[in-house]
Homo-oligomer: A and B are copies of this chain.
Amino acid sequence: MTTLQDCQALDAQDPLRPLRALFQLPPHTIYLDGNSLGAMPVGAAARAAAVVTEEWGRDLIQSWNTAGWFSLPQRLGNRIAPLIGAGPDQTVVTDTTSINLYKVLTAALRMGQQDAPERRVLLSERSNFPTDLYIAEGLCKSLGYTLKLVEPEEIAGALNSELAVLMLTHVNYRTGAMHDMAAVTAAAHAAGALVVWDLAHSAGAVPVDLLGANADFAVGCCYKYLNGGPGAPAFLWVKPAHAERFWQPLSGWWGHAAPFAFTPDYQPAPGVNRYLCGTQPMVSLSLVGCGLEAFEAAQALGGMAALRKKSLALTDLFIALVEARCQGHGLGLATPRAHALRGSQVSLTRENAPGGSGAYAMVQALIARGVVGDFRAGDSGLHKDILRFGFTPLYIGFEDVWHAVEHLRQVLDSGEWREARFNQKHAVT
């Protein structure tokens, strides 16, 4: 069995270990929630201060030119491109994931309406991240489509002649299960449908190859594994062949071909630029660059391939240690064991029971010990309550994993999670 000393040796040999110094982590904390909100890069405070006091306070409107505010969505998009297998000038950072999904989903449905108007189904997973489903539900209602939700294993059977668009999140936010992007895209294309991918839990977590997979549209989040700061603007990618087929519906001035001509009529900008809409929040947007610096530093150490290798080693170790040391407490594994089917998180289940599964209290007890994961509620049917742990190879080490499991073991063996203080729910869970 792997010992604490083994883990320390793994950290000592880890070629990615220097990257940890690029992040400021709170003391006495093992932060396993980078899949929800990535940790702060050390350069973020200075960058925020520069944008606020110099670009805003000192240079004011001149910063549109001197600080390049207007082109920041494209410049950041080009820095994300290598992480998602996109070419240059195909990606922008703007607005939110939900809003970007609305844009690309509308474009995909309009393409479908033109090319195959008899196809009236938008297919997704029932356990997709809810906001994706809400956006899809609203669009289906207004455009006259049927939103069909299935379990992951039912997707292949639902790729039929009724299908217009398949919308999936590459790595599931609850379970960490990962789709085979190339295979699923090929199967959907073979069935005559377009595919929209949400990379919220993939970008910066696993290698992604949008062009290689021949994907149609993608959106993703910059504040999880990309460490861009709380609520950082999101990214959007469109396959070049699709980019100019339609206006996206949020036809604002930043997506205009000549935004400073101030003409009364809309002329969409070339390529992905038409997917921009209004003025972006420059302080938050600028911080996205700080998170990307860590990936640029990782490039010399093996890049996403090396990060993926370490991520799998971390999650393998966590699973093995939990199964060896935390037996007899009703925990199960929601995350697939096969590497090809797993993102960069591990989700443990606990049986739902009349008095509750206890998973929420276990997470709270761990947080009180400085091990920060999170809880996701199950439902009365298919899904159990989940204890969710994200492993960001940029700043999590093997010793962190060992201590996290040791704390979990102590929480379970001592029964301390049953204390009332760990059962009081917060507003946001």
A residues whose Cβ falls under 8 Å from a Cβ of B: 24, 26, 31, 33, 36-37, 39-40, 44-45, 48-49, 51-53, 55-65, 69-70, 95-99, 102, 126-128, 130-131, 133-135, 137-139, 141-142, 149, 223, 229-234, 247, 249-254, 256, 260-266, 277-285, 287, 367, 372, 374, 376-377, 379, 426-429
Contact = CB atoms under 8 A, between A and B. Distances in A.
A191 B142 CA distance: 28
Nearest to A66: B426
Copies of this chain, tallied across the complex: 2
- Nearest 6 pairs between A and B by C-beta? A96-B278, A281-B284, A98-B278, A98-B252, A40-B57, A131-B253
A249 B70 CA distance: 27
A281 B131 contact: no
A13 to B, nearest CB: 28
A51 B377 CA distance: 29
Contacts of A62: 367
Contacts of A126: 264
A427 B62 CA distance: 11
A252 B57 CA distance: 34
Contact of A57 (B24, B96, B250): B24
A257 B244 CA distance: 36
A203 to B, nearest CB: 15
A349 B268 CA distance: 30
B262 A130 contact: yes
A98 B287 CA distance: 23
A139 to B, nearest CB: 8
B99 A252 contact: yes
A69 to B, nearest CB: 6
A383 to B, nearest CB: 9
B260 A131 contact: no
A57 to B, nearest CB: 4
Residue among A44, A53, A252 with most chain B CB within 10 A: A252
Contacts of A426: 64-65
A201 to B, nearest CB: 14
A6 B137 CA distance: 64
A99 B250 contact: yes
A96 B277 contact: yes
B44 A249 contact: no
A16 to B, nearest CB: 21
